[in-house]
Structure 1
């Protein structure tokens, strides 16, 4: 059966998967874009909310201190304070006591006005006493503390003073910067409560956060506490770095805000800072990003998990699609290829009863029916060829009979007994060979022996004018099976068509040679009646389809060889070197098993 070659097929499976991906990828990309955009928006809103939170806390502290400063500033012109600082020598004890008690009540009011006030005190050099809001209302005058706090400050930009690691807001009167006096007549001082600020910072900081209030110029800081040691150390280092002036000589974060991210102890923190020039202080809150953006990260992890799950589902879908569609379809296609190549004993199985099960059943039924039809057609074609072969042999068998009997009659009339004996021996062997109908193939040396018998018979007629020369059979080729009666008809054609009118010096040469996997038997003569036109006519007749009425020996032999061996073999006609016809009988030295062999001849 003819094998048809085609270009490689394109599988439908990748097309289905790519189509699915073409639908899924844009949807997934859009969803990913929407999630990322939403995540960025939420992140921005969270940061904005944290900034607003820090700004609110900062404003609360700043407003408290502004209120304290304004309250203290208002007491500069208090009558009792003025009297105690300037008229003590002329005041009676009752007046002094009354003025001191009134002043203490006002200082108590300053202390209770804010949780950020530890103590409110008035230093009065003339009285040589310190009046404060503490339980010990009147204390001895402390000159060292007085001198340390009697420093001019800008109460609207840098109101704080440091003394023995304690933070104060002081108002000397009169201000030394604008007075000729060497010392103020009194000094109002408010000690900032570190405990109050720390408690407030603890309220500002949630779980895991750290709130720090620190001075921009003065080296003080108050932290909410409760944070890991490495976090507190990192905050201190950051505060120390923030007090270094920049290239312009100005301190950073002057009445401004900042955001940054720090890695502390293997954890990432978002630091939001607000700075106030009115207090010369900054508030920083350290927030773990896990607390701030933890929900977003968890959402992102869920998104990644969903993406991986989607990928797994896609792979599972592709594998299921491969098993349900691609694999049975590929098996069916390969089965068609095998049938196309001639394998009609093929049965494919499919375990399910779906559409592919139906296709497989129909395929098996089709192959079975096709196998029956092919065998029927082949048997019919073989019987036609066998009948044709028998017809060709029947044409060959009587061809030589008539002349032989006439020749035998003439020798008997001449009483030539020796030649009659020889002639009848060759003639008997000749007819014994051609009448063996059960044999369609014979060994090459048997076929050559029969041809020799024929030439011996013909020598009784043409011995005086035609010589026949046989070459040697190549080694290993004597037992080669060849179709019966292929050499003698070609030699007979040389006698009757090539040399019929040759009166003398006629010859016929029979040679044998191997060409790769082909055996070539050459039969040539030195006849002088072959024209180019007749040679071409013979060649054309060999190429034409067989004619049922064709009786020419050459055509019969050529047709029989092609029936047996295939279209590559048969007769090839040319002009011999002596000018006559040269016939090359081409036979295969080997044949594939069961190829072009009739059913009756197969083992």
Structure 2
């Protein structure tokens, strides 16, 4: 059966056969881990809750014993008999209360919990309390007095807060022949103390602990999820809870392990809800171990498949990619020798074929460049005599007017201009040299027209950039002949430049007559096409077409001319030169 399958099919079949025992091992280990983890987490949570409750009950019991301790203090005994004894004057009464006040303050401060302690004598109607703002009378105690811990809200200096209260009394005193309650001791602590303990209980835990009582609102930690706690509180109210236990519940689509234990002192339940996804973390570890093992086997299978891919698929892909590049016109593509001997002969034949095609293309390209150079020289031979005649006519006119200064300026600029243009053997120059030619040309035009001004702003860093000669002059001449001269009044030409990470850009703008949108589209079409006869173009597009073609073939990429309307009213020509030289005109020559 496997004999008729491909290599890839055989490899994948072997990989799946190796995975079967791993899947069986994982199923067994996952089942064992599930039982162990569930049992351990349940015991751990109940033990934590019991330990926490023992601490809370311990503090509450200690506060309960304060009543007995305070009732046996000598000052407390004197305080109880103030009304019945006529040996105490006002000063003694104040001193007894002050001493007793200090002792209960000391007792209250000895506990870490926020608490209040009050001694009230119903016979003497005297009170000593750590909370002097509270007002006590017999009606207050008749309403609230309980020998067990009770829970209610009370008004404090910080607003309404919840407190736990516990009372003790001594009814053994006879006064005027009637048995009276001698003293009532109230001990109270704020529910905020339990909130602080819940915060500590929650530290390092992923659960949501809170205290539950079916008759009151839950006591939560400061960072509790109120919505989750309220949902659990409503769920627990309908259950008959024992002293402790745990169960799995589901709320809002999430399963929780709910553990609880009852406080023997306060009668409240401490509840902790832990998301099962965190409870089952050991199982996740076991699962990850399985995934690691599985990944190792998959990696082995992938390596085997990769070796086949590298030695078969990659050489075929490279060959197809090379053929596609030749199809797109990239004849410089060559294929490196592959590691497999089977493809070496095929790659060598491909490289030999690409060499022959590239040689033919380069010969054709050189012939085209030579034809364009001949066209450029022909255009220069047509333009230069006419330009020279105008300059000589200007010199003659200035000579007749005996304007020596104009004659000197014209001859200097004209000499520099022709000294630069007649160096036909020099194919390339710097941008700074090209700008010197432009300045001489513009100064000659200013002398002739007297209504031309210009501005050149090129960054210093661009002046040493290499470029073919006579690229800017046709653009400036076109701006004057077809822009400035076609519009009355003063004309302005502005030449600016900037560079980006990939390009040098030079912009020539004029304030001349400009060009309509249809005219610009027609000019862009002329620039994009390559006429069968290089000299076939005429008018304003001839020189610009030549510059555009030279930029494209010299720099490649996105190089060339971009035509748009200028804010000055005329035409804006942007000359883009990419920073990579594909074919050097000097090498072609």
The answer, yes or no, to whether TM exceeds 0.5 is no
TM norm structure 2: 0.43
TM norm structure 1: 0.42
Which has the higher Rg, Structure 1 or Structure 2? 1
